[in-house]
Amino acid sequence: MQFAYSPESHPSIACDLLAYPVFDDDVSKPSPADPATPSSAPLKALDAATGHAVSALLASTEFKPELHRCCKLHRPAQLQAERLLLVGAGKRSEFTPARLREVAGVAVRAARASHCKKIALVCRDAFPARLAAQMAVEGSLYANYDADLYKTKDREGGDVTDCQLLFEGEASGKADGGEVAEGVRRGVAVGEATNFARTLVNEPANVLTPAQFVQRALDECAKAGLEAQVMEREGMEALGMNALLAVSRGSDQPPKLLLLRTPGAVGENAGVPLTALVGKGVTFDSGGISLKPSDKMEEMKGDMAGGAAVLGAMLALGRLCPQKPLLGLVPLTENLPGGKATKPGDVVKSLSGKTIEIINTDAEGRLILADALAYARTLGATRILDAATLTGACVVALGTVNAGMLGTDQATIDRLRANCAATGEKFWQLPIDDEYKKAIRSEIADMKNVGGRAGGTITAAKFLQEFVEDTPWVHLDIAGMDIDTEGRPFACKGATGFGVRTFVQLLEG
Ligand code: BES
Ligand code: MN
Ligand code: ZN
């Protein structure tokens, strides 16, 4: 999709569909006697330009300015646009950048449904032009994506090809091509990286093996100017990454460890703060010998969503702030119950030297992260963030509205929490008191890999903490956030790309 700044105002813009967000305070409060009417100057102007079709829609109650609600009008009187789409933007006082992203997404989904190719989107004056443009672009790209990768017919198709960004009121005075172009550039970097991460999650596990994940990463890294290296099984054996190797033993697909660096992190960097992003990359999690039930097991193709988020974020950050020193690590493997598979009760010595009794082979994410986190430390990371679809317990605790957030770097946790209104990706902090550590005590080794049913998300984090040691660290448990099985008004069902925006927002600039 191409984006362009338009200095025109909406009556004169020619397009297949013009999308206009409507806030609660653009319309009068309806009562049984008086229907809602346009009450703000901009909506009154739009009403006049449509021969009062907007008034008629409001009177009919077919349209209300509720968030995500929308209504289409054909051939509005004095507009050049073929269609006018009113999009509910909700309460103006509750409008956030995340909501602007969603409003743009609703517009694009509606345009696709009507096979509109060229659209125009009015950015009302809620945010500075650059931020508004970035959100509009991110939301548009997100909505223009479909998960029908392997449909040979009945494809939704209907991609929107052009989107003009218009600015109204205050925003139009301040908007200039340069500010908007910068917002578009950022929005494209983040939006495309998010969709790339979504495709990795949507791909079935027979296609997206560890080797295929790495291949696609290498192709994209070359384009984004990121340095990428791949460690093979032999390298892991030489270093002693036996926790990662233990998970891969039951599969015929060789494990991989993907290591990414921004240009700013290449070469000697002693003394410079270095943030490492680590993402769980289990391309399919059957549970291994501790086999999962078959119901919903297909969703475990998304068990590399943390790795996809790390890769997507690194690609965007490589474009937006290449000089910032950042590492990305993605340990990649399948978790299958083959003849050589790790068995409950097996003990391994991890890269860190700490020994692990593997009680449950389905708690594999923490095993591969153990070695990747320890390795990040050896590479000089001074702060570590990890993202992983780690525990079903997190879905039980927080559902699919908030992801879990735990760790030792409270300053970063606070920033992540504060960024939620901009990213639209919500996190809720859970505690990690040391008392939880006794749950993973083992009789035979330094620790065991499961801590029982109580506090499952926390005991998993306590396990990870053993491998980050004193490095400031934040763990994001994104289980249940990777795949949206219900669908949203601004997106197709399927992979969400959850985590990309969070990492970019935290680390850019
Ligand atoms: N990948 C799963 C966690 C998961 C569950 C993600 C549901 C998304 C949706 C992870 O590897 C796992 O199997 N965790 C176990 C841990 C248990 C054995 C301690 C779990 O949550 O059941
Ligand atoms: Mn598992
Ligand atoms: Zn898993």
Distance in angstroms (rounded) separating the CA atoms of residues 404 and 267: 34
Given the structure tokens 């890769």, which residue do they identify? 311
- Active-site annotation holds for 319: no
Ligand 1 contact via 459 beta carbon (within 6 Å): no
305 with 389: CB under 8 angstroms?
yes
Q: Report the pLDDT value the prediction gives residue 174, as an integer from 0 to 100.
A: 61
Q: Report the pLDDT value the prediction gives residue 473, as an integer from 0 to 100.
A: 99
Centroid of ligand 3 to alpha carbon of 267 (angstroms): 34
10 with 20: CB under 8 angstroms?
yes
Centroid of ligand 3 to alpha carbon of 80 (angstroms): 53
Torsion over CA: 374, 379, 384, 387 (sign): negative
Instruction: Report which protein residue has its CA nearest ligand 1's atom 14.
Output: 391
Rounded to a whole number of angstroms, the CA Rg of the chain reads 25
pLDDT in tens, the chain (509 residues): 999 999 988 889 999 999 999 999 999 998 888 999 999 999 999 999 999 999 999 999 999 999 999 999 999 999 999 999 999 999 999 999 999 999 999 999 999 999 999 999 999 989 999 999 999 999 999 999 999 999 998 776 689 999 999 999 755 656 778 999 999 999 999 999 999 999 999 999 999 999 999 999 999 999 999 999 999 999 999 999 999 999 999 999 999 999 999 999 998 777 899 999 999 999 999 999 999 999 999 999 999 999 999 999 999 999 999 999 999 999 999 999 999 999 999 999 999 999 999 999 999 999 999 999 999 999 999 999 999 999 999 999 999 999 999 999 999 999 999 999 999 999 999 999 999 999 999 999 999 999 999 999 999 999 999 999 999 999 999 999 999 999 999 999 999 999 999 999 999 97
Centroid of ligand 3 to alpha carbon of 182 (angstroms): 39
Q: Report the pLDDT value the prediction gives residue 32, as an integer from 0 to 100.
A: 86
Smallest-distance ligand from the CA of 390? 1
Per the DSSP assignment, residues forming a β-bridge with 71 are 86
Percentage helix, strand, coil for the chain under 3-state DSSP, each rounded to 5? 40, 20, 40
From 283, 390, 396, 398, mutation site for ligand 1 pocket: most ligand atoms within 8 A of C-beta: 390
Ligand 1 contact via 425 beta carbon (within 6 Å): no
Q: Report the pLDDT value the prediction gives residue 269, as an integer from 0 to 100.
A: 76
- Active-site annotation holds for 366: yes
The active-site residue, picked from 101, 256, 366, 377, is: 366
3-class SS string, 125-192: CCCCHHHHHHHHHHHHHHHCCCCCCCCCCCCCCCCCCEEEEEECHHHHHHCCHHHHHHHHHHHHHHHH
476 with 404: CB under 8 angstroms?
yes
Distance in angstroms (rounded) separating the CA atoms of residues 120 and 430: 42
Distance in angstroms (rounded) separating the CA atoms of residues 421 and 276: 24
Two structure tokens written together for 466 = 């053993």
Two structure tokens written together for 482 = 């990777």
Torsion over CA: 217, 219, 224, 230 (sign): positive
Length of the chain: 509
Centroid of ligand 1 to alpha carbon of 202 (angstroms): 19
Centroid of ligand 2 to alpha carbon of 482 (angstroms): 15
Domains annotated on the chain, with CATH: 2-175 (3.40.220.10), 191-508 (3.40.630.10)
Question: Assign residue 178 a region: left if phi > 0, alpha if psi is -120 to 50, beta otherwise?
Answer: alpha
Distance in angstroms (rounded) separating the CA atoms of residues 435 and 4: 56
pTM over 0.95: yes
Per the DSSP assignment, residues forming a β-bridge with 356 are 348, 447
| Pairing relationship of beta strands 326-335 and 256-261 according to DSSP bridges | antiparallel
Ligand 1 contact via 362 beta carbon (within 6 Å): yes
419 with 403: CB under 8 angstroms?
no
Ligand 1 contact via 368 beta carbon (within 6 Å): no
Q: Report the pLDDT value the prediction gives residue 158, as an integer from 0 to 100.
A: 85
Distance in angstroms (rounded) separating the CA atoms of residues 244 and 259: 15
Ligand 1 contact via 404 beta carbon (within 6 Å): no
